[in-house]
Amino acid sequence: MKATSLNFDLIDSYLELLKSLSPDNRLNLISKLSNSLKRPKKSSDKMLSDLFGAFKTKKSADEMIAELKRSRYFDRNTERL
């Protein structure tokens, strides 16, 4: 089956499905389809560098490590047997 034949079959299937809609609903659908074609296509091409973010802080690595260690909390109690 050729791609064009498949496209026409798909379009015919949609038309059969849409026949049950009221004229107002069909006009609303046409309007929405037209508006979707008029909108400029959003560019989804992102630069690879945009995918990587840097953690911005004025603290040094040693300060951040010390802060993390200070924030740890252990509440495990061991019982003697």
Residue 61: CB atoms within 10 Å: 8
C-alpha dihedral, 62 to 68 to 69 to 75, nearest 10°:
180
- The structure tokens listed for 61 are 């690595």
Alpha-helix runs per DSSP H in the chain: 3-18, 23-38, 61-71
pTM above 0.85, yes or no: no
Residue 6 confidence (pLDDT) above 80: no
Residue 66 confidence (pLDDT) above 90: yes
